[in-house]
Amino acid sequence: MDRIVSKVRDFIIRHALIEQGDRVLLSLSAGKDSMLMFHILNLLRQELGFMMGVFHLNHQTRGAESDRDEEHLIRLAREHDFPIHIERYDFSANRIRGLSFEEHARAVRYERAEKISAGHGYNKIATAHTRNDHIETILMRIFTGTGIYGLRGIQARRDKIIRPLLALTSDEVYGYLTGLNISWLEDSSNTAISYPRNFIRHNLLPLARTRFSAADESIQSLSELAGDALLVLEELITQQYPSLYEFSDGDLYIEAGVLMRSEPLFSYAVTAGMRKYFNYHANRKMIGEIYAKYRTRRANIKLYRDNAIRADKVYATGRSRLKISEALPLGPDPAEWEYCIDVRDFHGARLCLEEIGISVAVEIVDYAYFEKFVKNNGYIFISMEKNIKSLYIRNRRKGDRMRTEQGMKKIKDLLIEKKLDNDRKERVPLLVADSEVIACMPGLLFDIPNRVSVDFLVDKNAGKVLSVCKN
């Protein structure tokens, strides 16, 4: 067995990344790392006993070059008789305020891959990150601000995401591909040093290596030491405070009172909780602000909020606790907004709801699709049997009502039943047909059930079903 193939195989086995019977979705570009991952996993597929498919997100930012990459991957998958899943997303037309292109692209890529894996039975998603990506990530985090957790860099496995190439360097990837005459396509944007990662890759690291020959090995060692330290800290916290965290109905409650004697202890425990339950990476300034406000004698106060998370001091059952919950993006204009869906000759649409910071897909589906996803709060299904002339998504207006099993009810009351605070209630989108509210859709923002008008509920006789889901 080739040395590089053997190195990847041993890494996969040592970290239990792929097991017999797995269905692995390869998230690929047409670049060097992706082509090597496709080639090696295809070689190891029978030995390790797994099945694989290919996913590609066309960013639509490089014109013909983006389409060229997509066509290359389609040909590659078909030549080897693998299923191929292509998604397109126009990042230029769907920019989200406060997110860099890299952050936005990464979020959409993982979101689309997760959706495809869930819909097609893949239990693992493989990305082609290498050791060089790992080193660059650690440096980028140091320069932009990170803690001990960020120093770990890219992990071999996170939930269903696996990185089988982390043991390889870029030089090893290049040598293997050229040695076997395996082709790849270059992404012209990879040379643009306006992107932080490219600046580190092309300018900073090469310069550091000329002076410090063991730079990569030293950064790798730092990463491993940080990982070991985190394991020790987590074990000590769990032993000392076994009831520190309570996660209920999407909110995290922390017994912060026992942590107040030490700000570093408070900082670590709160940061770890945010990371574990919300995949949120807090900075030092933010945690310091929460700590200072929590120390006051006041109860039931807002401590912090940004466009992703909020922290409150709440008092109940005779004690104060720190409550962490998801927050919607800050600052949507309270003015009315709406997005029209053209129902004439309708085949599907994707809408970017900028005011609440999400994108949605709207499409016609069959009853089998409805049955598959009806219990998923991220989906809303509407019977389209009625002759609807206009359809749009908008925010709530004063006096909005919807027909329920108990008769007409105010949307405001339906949202109060969901125990949403005022900020969240104001941002819940509604689906409106002609002038009638037919769906209240908090599930697009929070993991709670949606409500559909009784006049538009889907049953087995529905010949035409409209699906709205978070994109």
Give pLDDT tens digits for 263-302.
Answer: 999 999 999 999 999 989 888 889 999 999 999 877 678 8
**Interacting residues of 16 by C-beta distance below 8 A, sequence separation 6+:** 157
Burial of residue 230 (CB within 10 Å: 0-12, 13-18, 19+) is middle
Residue that the structure tokens 């932009």 belong to:
144
347 lies in the same domain as 315: no
422: confidence class by pLDDT, cuts 50, 70, 90: confident
414 lies in the same domain as 278: no
Q: Is 234 a member of any domain?
A: no
Domain stops at, among 326, 347, 372: 326
Domain stops at, among 274, 303, 326: 326
CA distances from 424 to 326, 413, 439 (A): 10, 13, 17
Q: Is 235 a member of any domain?
A: no
162 lies in the same domain as 290: no
Instruction: Give 189-257 as a 3 state SS string.
Output: HHHCCCCHHHHHHHHHHHHHHHHCCCHHHHHHHHHHHHHHHHHHHHHHHHHHCCCCEEEECCEEEECHH
Q: Is 287 a member of any domain?
A: yes
Q: Whole-prediction pTM value?
A: 0.66
pLDDT at residue 388, rounded to an integer: 81
Instruction: Give 163-190 as a 3 state SS string.
Output: CCCCCCCHHHHHHHHHHCCCCCCCCHHH
Q: Is 224 a member of any domain?
A: no
199 lies in the same domain as 247: no
Q: Is 231 a member of any domain?
A: no
Q: Is 226 a member of any domain?
A: no
Question: What mean pLDDT is reported for the chain?
Answer: 90
175 lies in the same domain as 305: no
Q: Is 123 a member of any domain?
A: yes
51 lies in the same domain as 176: yes
87 lies in the same domain as 185: yes
- Helices 284-294, 263-278: axis angle to 10 degrees equals 110
**One-letter amino acid of 290:** I
Split into its structural domains, the chain has a count of 3
Q: Is 167 a member of any domain?
A: yes
pLDDT at residue 331, rounded to an integer: 47
Query: Considering only CA atoms, which of 437, 334, 335 is closest in space to residue 393?
Result: 437
128 lies in the same domain as 162: yes
61 lies in the same domain as 164: yes
Domain stops at, among 201, 217, 233: 217
251 lies in the same domain as 131: no
* Residue 48's CATH number: 3.40.50.620
pLDDT in tens, 324-359: 998 755 444 456 788 888 766 566 788 888 888 899
54 lies in the same domain as 132: yes
71 lies in the same domain as 212: yes
pLDDT in tens, 393-402: 999 988 899 9
Contact 338, 395 (CB under 8 A): yes
Q: Where in the sequence is the domain holding 402, given as residue range(s)?
A: 338-470
